[in-house]
């Protein structure tokens, strides 16, 4: 059932490249909380995330994000400022400081300059603000990427394998941060087990099909509210 309050509503959404279905037509909705999307890394998963983030048009079907029909240009323009996307192995500006990197994103997100300092503070990057992105350890670099993605406080955030290559202790610190990024967070992982325990809903991508799969959430008491 699709509710009126859904952040994302897809009806018969299909993504095709050349003659191959990356995602066969499917219907689903995302309301709020953390939605896990498990599937092998590859074009299908990235294409779905890019489509939901309006960077790519669906081959077939309807797609509404935050109440806007994003198959139309006007809908995409209206909603883009309310979305955030962090690709897997995201690119950054080499030789650039963390502060400048987030400020760069902030310019395109039309946020005031003070928002940069605020989000660096919120993500625990104040001390690393002057460091070059290349010099940061992987978990801090991820925090910087998240800060750039969320500097405009989006309502829906898409994260492609954010925790890949992150150590266990850092994961424990990062998961609460990821959960609090936005009202709705769509996060992918190659292995469903990586999502178990901290997502509220789960999907799996199997041979171009999107299948809802059980996702065991952490008890509410164990999840810190934001960071």
Residues in contact with other proteins by the rule CB under 8 A: 53-55, 73, 77, 80-81, 83-87, 90-91, 93-96, 100, 103-105, 107-110, 113, 148-149, 152
CA dihedral angle for residue 211, residue 16, residue 195, residue 11, rounded to 10 degrees: -50
N-terminal to C-terminal alpha carbon distance within the chain: 32
Q: Which residues pair with 212 in a beta bridge?
A: 203
Distance CA 69, CA 60 (A): 13
The nearest distance, CB 160 to other proteins, in angstroms, is 9
Of 23 and 148, the one with the shorter C-beta distance to other proteins is 148
The nearest distance, CB 102 to other proteins, in angstroms, is 10
The nearest distance, CB 134 to other proteins, in angstroms, is 12
Of 54 and 196, the one with the shorter C-beta distance to other proteins is 54
Of 94 and 169, the one with the shorter C-beta distance to other proteins is 94
User: Largest alpha-carbon pair distance within the chain?
Assistant: 50
The nearest distance, CB 184 to other proteins, in angstroms, is 15
Of 21 and 90, the one with the shorter C-beta distance to other proteins is 90
Contact 27, 38 (CB under 8 A): no
Which tokens sit at 13? 């959404």
Of 101 and 198, the one with the shorter C-beta distance to other proteins is 101
CA dist 196 to 77, 136, 193, Å? 34, 28, 5
Which tokens sit at 74? 């006007």
Using DSSP's 3-state secondary structure scheme, residue 58 falls into coil
Using DSSP's 3-state secondary structure scheme, residue 46 falls into helix
The nearest distance, CB 84 to other proteins, in angstroms, is 7
Distance CA 8, CA 67 (A): 8
The nearest distance, CB 220 to other proteins, in angstroms, is 30
Of 2 and 41, the one with the shorter C-beta distance to other proteins is 41
């Amino acid at each position: 059932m699709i509710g009126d309050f859904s952040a994302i509503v897809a009806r018969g959404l299909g993504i095709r490249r050349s003659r191959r279905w990356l995602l066969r037509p499917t219907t689903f909705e995302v309301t709020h909380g953390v939605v896990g999307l498990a599937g092998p890394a590859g074009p299908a998963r990235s294409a779905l995330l890019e489509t939901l983030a309006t960077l790519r048009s669906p081959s077939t079907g309807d797609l509404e994000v935050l109440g806007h029909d994003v198959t139309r240009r006007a809908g995409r323009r209206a909603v883009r400022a309310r979305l955030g996307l962090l690709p897997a192995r995201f690119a950054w500006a080499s030789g650039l400081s963390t502060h400048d990197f987030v400020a760069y994103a902030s310019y395109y997100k039309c946020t005031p300059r003070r928002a940069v300092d605020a989000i660096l503070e919120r993500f625990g990057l104040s001390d690393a603000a002057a460091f070059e992105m290349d010099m940061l350890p992987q978990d801090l670099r991820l925090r910087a990427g998240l800060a750039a993605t969320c500097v405009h406080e989006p309502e829906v955030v898409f994260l492609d394998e954010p925790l890949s290559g992150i150590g266990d202790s850092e994961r424990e610190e990062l998961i609460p941060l990821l959960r609090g990024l936005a009202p709705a967070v769509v996060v992918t992982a190659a292995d469903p087990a990586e999502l178990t325990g901290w997502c509220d809903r789960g999907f799996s991508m199997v041979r171009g099909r999107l299948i809802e799969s059980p996702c065991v959430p952490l008890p509410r008491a164990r999840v810190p509210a934001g960071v």
